[in-house]
Structure 1
Amino acid sequence: MASLELFYGNLQGHNERYDFVKTPWNTILALMEQQYVVYYRVSTKRQGDSGLGLESQRAYVNHFYQGKHIIAEFTDVRSGKTIHKRPQLQQALALCRQEYATLVVAKIDRLSRDTEQALWIYRQLDGRLESCDIPHLDKFSLTLFMAIADRERELISIRTRQALEQKVKQVGEWRMKGKNEKKTAAAAVGAQLSRELANENENNRRAAVVIRNSREIGKSWSTIAAELNAHGFRTAKGANFQAVQVQRIYRRYEVQEDNLIVK
């Protein structure tokens, strides 16, 4: 519940404040009840249609905000690159300003993956921003978490680029030239994007740690896949792990780590 001083201070003008003083106490308490606006974001239409990603976000919010006064929910099916091209986010921010509500996200990267954009939203809402994955969110913790995310994305880009350069050194230019050059180049760009998206998948990064540790103690690919599935891990597409996918993740992250070593 917002403090009485804060609520009174946000009333505009002498007339509003005069009317507030005459308002019955039980009505004032109702007006002061903290209100929440929930914002969800999925990156692709397929995720939005299937519920992958969206269902887990809702599960977080339902767990932490059960019984809270949620007045609206908004969902964008957009990338996290820019906040200004997400109409549902803009509506959510407008409603928060209008109703003096708090914006809630399941994970801070659903709001933005850019430090400056996240801080801009924080300022627009006068700090009325909460995320299920960051307890007691304030400007310092928001800046810290976003800076870590920024650095991780930068490292992912470096690892991906170095892995591609290393492959060219080992096997030469494998992309075909000729009349289908444009199609081949487009396919290569698409393949690279798919690899980057897979690398950025948080579940893959967590799974990679488990896979590496399990291989060190001699577990088979099939055994590792079964253990990942039993502990709730899912692939980037939301499916169960198979042995071949476990091998791919292990080798992908092994190549990336090797390329980070200065020779």
Structure 2
Amino acid sequence: MQEYVIYRRVSTKEQGKSGLGLGLEAQQRDIDLYLQNYSDVPFEILGTFTDVLSGGNNDRPELAKAMELARKTGAELLVSKLDRLSRKVSFIEQLMEDKRITFLVASMPTADAFQLHIYAALAGQERRFISLRTKAALKEAKACGVKLGGLRDKTMKRNEVVKANVNDRAERIRAIIMPMRDSKKTVRDIAAALNAANDQTARCGVWGPSTVKATIRPPNGG
């Protein structure tokens, strides 16, 4: 029987407490979709562990417990996204070198260890570049006399958060749909899987073949 140890992570206490659309629920949906569509059956969940800490913090007690259980039992460590394990490439590399642990990423169900390593490295580069770009933009705005802070700044930050959440959701949905399509699942099968996981469309509706097709179709309609 296939055995799993589930690990989830959120970065604030508020996310950890509510679990309603702020992280935990979305992670669990990804994990459930993986188990329903990609796992060998039957399977067993030996334990679920959750940390409420930053991804840059390597001192995560629940992750340590999850890893220890995976080592003892030979179960596979399952996470929703790679950055739930860590945002540090060095940590991912260290985990890959541990021969007693095998980990899986639900949103990239067919990725092998080499692909996950490349993804982690590229994601790290992107985060560093975004940080540099943000600092440069703030410095330029300040030099031009723009006052940072206040109501307008808070509104802009809120809009940026909303936009980031929308983009993250779109990326997550496509990461679920595309591997299913590549494995020859029909759009009807994909819609059924998303609905079974209670993963609503962007307009809070149910999935159908047409909405799946619209998500798969490139933005330019090509």
- For the criterion TM > 0.5, the same-fold answer is yes
**Equivalent of residue 77 in structure 2, options 87, 99, 103:** 103
Q: Which amino acid aligns with 2:203?
A: A
- Residue 134 of structure 2 aligns to a residue in which SS? helix
User: 2:203 corresponds to which residue?
Assistant: 230
Distance 1:125 1:95, change over 3 A: farther
Give the CA deviation at 1:165.
0.7
Give the CA deviation at 1:34.
2.6
User: 1:94 corresponds to which residue?
Assistant: 68
User: 1:152 corresponds to which residue?
Assistant: 126
Q: C-alpha distance in 1, partners of 2:136/2:166? A: 19
Distance 1:200 1:158, change over 3 A: farther
User: 1:38 corresponds to which residue?
Assistant: 6
Superposed, 1:148-187 pairs within 5 Å as 148-171=122-145, 174=147
Distance 1:206 1:106, change over 3 A: closer
Q: Which amino acid aligns with 2:27?
A: Q
Q: Is the 8 A contact 1:199 1:205 kept in 2?
A: no
Q: C-alpha distance in 1, partners of 2:7/2:99? A: 14
User: 1:54 corresponds to which residue?
Assistant: 24
User: 2:178 corresponds to which residue?
Assistant: none
Tell me the TM-score normalized by structure 1: 0.55
Give the CA deviation at 1:171.
0.5
Q: Which amino acid aligns with 2:95?
A: I
Tell me the TM-score normalized by structure 2: 0.64
Q: Which stretches in structure 1 are left out of the alignment for 5+ residues?
A: 1-32, 176-186, 209-227, 233-263
Q: Which amino acid aligns with 2:43?
A: K
Q: Which amino acid aligns with 2:97?
A: R
User: 2:165 corresponds to which residue?
Assistant: 203
Q: Which stretches in structure 2 are left out of the alignment for 5+ residues?
A: 37-41, 171-200, 206-222
- Residue 41 of structure 1 aligns to a residue in which SS? strand
Q: C-alpha distance in 1, partners of 2:169/2:74? A: 40
Q: C-alpha distance in 2, partners of 1:201/1:82? A: 26
Q: C-alpha distance in 1, partners of 2:84/2:138? A: 29
**Equivalent of residue 64 in structure 1, options 30, 34, 40:** 34
Give the CA deviation at 1:135.
2.2
1:45-80 deviations in Å (ceiling 9; x for gaps): 101111021001111111211452111100000000
1:214-237 deviations in Å (ceiling 9; x for gaps): xxxxxxxxxxxxxx95278xxxxx
Distance 1:199 1:162, change over 3 A: farther
1:219-257 deviations in Å (ceiling 9; x for gaps): xxxxxxxxx95278xxxxxxxxxxxxxxxxxxxxxxxxx
- Residue 47 of structure 1 aligns to a residue in which SS? helix
Q: C-alpha distance in 2, partners of 1:199/1:151? A: 21
- Residue 38 of structure 1 aligns to a residue in which SS? strand
Identity %: 36
Q: C-alpha distance in 1, partners of 2:79/2:130? A: 24
Distance 1:123 1:76, change over 3 A: same
Distance 1:80 1:206, change over 3 A: closer
**1 or 2 for the larger relative contact order (CA 8 Å, sep ≥6)?**
2
Q: C-alpha distance in 1, partners of 2:168/2:62? A: 30
User: 2:113 corresponds to which residue?
Assistant: 139
- Residue 230 of structure 1 aligns to a residue in which SS? coil
Bigger helix fraction: 1
- Residue 166 of structure 1 aligns to a residue in which SS? helix
Q: Is the 8 A contact 1:119 1:139 kept in 2?
A: no
Q: Which amino acid aligns with 1:76?
A: D
